[in-house]
Every structure is written in C-alpha cells, then in structure tokens.
Amino acid sequence: MVRLASIGDNNVDVYRNLDLVYPGGDCPNVAAFWAKSGQPSAYVGRFGNDRLGDLQYNSLQSLGVDLSGVRRYDEPTAWGSIDLIDGDRIFGEANVAINERHPIEAAEIAALQDGRYDLIHSSQYSFFAPGAFEQFGEGETPVSFDFTSEWTDDILRGRCPYLDYVFLSCSHLGERETGELLQRLVGEYGVKLAAGTRGMEGSWLFDGHTLFFQEAFPCQTVDTLGAGDAFLTRFLLCYTAGKKEMKELLRAFPQGGPSEEALYSCEEKLIRHSLAQASLFAARCCQENGAFGLAIPYQG
C-alpha cells in the first residue's frame, strides 16, 4: 500500500450552466483520485457546516478518504464558479474566505510527518499560518506541491527548498523555456523532481539527469477540470509505489547490489512508466464533468 496525506485548499465547483455543484479543490481532488485508485489517502482542510461542506465531506468519505483532520466551521464552504465552453473550463467568481481565515498550521503538517504516510501533498491555492510552510522541510516524508499557474520566480525560489516534487502549469511557455525552468528548479532551487504540464502539447519532467517528455493522449473531451490533478496524482502514485518496491528489493540483496548506472536505468524506466500512466489517467478524467463526479443540484 502507498499512503498519501493531502493538506490544504478545497472548494466546491459550481457549474451554473449545468445547475450542478461538484466537490473539488486541488488537495481534495488528489486525495479522491488516490483513493479511487485503491490506495489509502487522507485529507486535511476546512469545510463549512453547510450543504456544500456536507457535499465535500460526504463525497470524500464515500471514496474512503480519511477525514479525521478536517475542521468544520459555521461559515460558508469555499466555492468557485465555472462555465463550460466546448469542454474547456472558464473560471468565474469565487469565495475561499474560510480557507484564508483558518490557514493550515505547522502542527497539522508535523502530525503527518510521523511515518504513517509515504507522501504529503499540498498546493499553491492553500493558505498557511506563519511558519507553517517551512514545516514541510522538517520531516523525512517526501512532499509534493502543485504550483498550478499561480507562480512567479520569487515564489518558486522561496518555496522549493522545502519541497521534493513540484508540478507547474507551463502552457504559456515554449518547450525550451519549460525545460530551462525545470532544470533551474532542480539544479538551483533544490527539488528532486520538477514537472511542467502544457495541456495537449504534452508534459516535461527533469530529475537532475534527464529531461523527459510525455505526449498527451487525445480523447473526446467533456470537461478538462481536474486533469492536472489527475496527471500529478497518477504520476506520484506510480512513482512512489515503484520507489518503495525498489527500496524493499534492494534490502534483500545479501551483498553489494547493482551499480549506480543500473539503478538509474531502473529509475529512468520508472519515471517514463509513471509519466505515461499520468497522461492516460488525465485523459480519462477529461471524459466526465467535474474532477471526480458526485454532483448535487445547484441552489443559487
């Protein structure tokens, strides 16, 4: 089993042109996709004590996500409005005040670093109390982070030293610019893996040695919401599971194990496999409305 803890942002997605509301948010999406893949996950964040908070809670609970770290308040659950135009999402107004008023605390992150989890995930849309973000760098559990499109070089320089695996939307960059950025994140800012997604132009990943490219798989698109979250979830699940299996196998060698070259050959194949799985999973996500379904009627 590969265990994930996802901590941070959440918001329901209000599809006004469909009169539906879907559970969502970067961190809940990742926890949901992980659980739907048959692996244990937990989500830590803030919901309101309202109908939309019940939607978030009940949807994730129905998938088996551990919600013991969720705090609920007598405030509106965070929401964002979306219009679908030819299968692409157009974001409108939003209210995420509950997340801002009750930011993630350092103690909540530290509680996830006790060895129970194989990976901790968070995102740029999350709010952190003073000193909380730096806690990510205090534990041994690897931390993944989705910068989405909400990044600048100053943000990357300030946050990457506390992170292991980072994902960015690079749709506005060319191939060469994307590659140079990912190499800078690993070589200068200290992450272990950096991935940049570019929609149907494919994705790139740098691990300190090789710049990998993964094509996007064309499919009939219904809704692109959650595709990026699906991509990174599947990559992280495959990669983390593979690394865990390799580590356990290496312990079984009675004497000296394979050479560094042989080990990196295994690592390279694992990354390529994980990227292909990620692209396929993202394509599947685009074939239904909402990130992971489970909508209720909108009552605006």
At residue 291, φ and ψ (nearest 5 deg) are -70, -50
Rounded to the nearest integer, the mean pLDDT of the chain is: 94
Q: What is the pLDDT of residues 152-186, one digit of tens each?
A: 999 999 999 999 999 999 999 999 999 999 999 99
Q: What is the pLDDT of residues 35-72, one digit of tens each?
A: 999 999 999 999 999 999 999 999 999 999 999 999 99
End-to-end CA distance of the chain: 41
- Read off the pLDDT band of 300 (50, 70, 90): low
Q: What is the pLDDT of residues 237-289, one digit of tens each?
A: 999 999 999 998 888 887 777 888 888 899 999 999 999 999 999 999 888 87
Look up tokens 């710049």; give the residue: 211
Quote the pTM value. Answer: 0.95
Greater confidence (84 vs 71) lies with 71
Q: What is the pLDDT of residue 87?
A: 57
